[in-house]
Amino acid sequence: MKFGILINEGPYTHEASDTAYLFAKAAIEKGHKVSRVFFYHDGVYNSSRLTEPPTDDRHIVNRWQKLAKDHGIDLVVCVAAALRRGIKDENLQEGFRISGLGQLIESGIQSDRLVTFGD
């Protein structure tokens, strides 16, 4: 099965990103494909290279980056939501890219399931 994922909440303030990450990882381990993760609303904060959690905490941004690199997942950040929150290309973590809502629509069309995490 091919999954698209939509994340609407930021890291460290809501469990949506952690749950989405664990879902994606488990799906891949079961032989499914995660083609794209789309970060929308406060979810765009999952892409910021400015995130620096304490060393004894999980680094959510790096988790997404590694999962995407290891499994060819397209990490897309909504341009309008990002700009509203001060996120631009220069403060995106490597492996993420900014694009429009068309990428979310495309993910919904091309995936067997589009799974949403967060409000």
All structural domains of the chain with their residue ranges: 2-117
SS (H, E, C) the chain: CEEEEEECCCCCCCCHHHHHHHHHHHHHHCCCEEEEEEECHHHHHHHECCCCCCCCCCCHHHHHHHHHHHHCCEEEEEHHHHHHCCCCHHHECCCEEEECCHHHHHHHHHCCEEEEECC
pLDDT band at 38 (very low <50, low <70, confident <90, very high): very high
- Residues known to be catalytic: 78
* Whether the Cβ atoms of residue 118 and residue 43 lie closer than 8 Å to each other: yes
Output the six-digit token pair for 97.
Answer: 């890219």
pLDDT band at 50 (very low <50, low <70, confident <90, very high): very high
For 61-99, how does the pLDDT look when each residue is reduced to its tens digit (9 = 90+)? 999 999 999 999 999 999 999 999 999 999 999 999 999
Domain 2-117, CATH 3.10.580.10 — does that match? Answer: no
Residues 6+ apart with CB under 8 A from 16: 7, 8, 9, 43, 117, 118
Answering whether pTM is above 0.75, one says yes
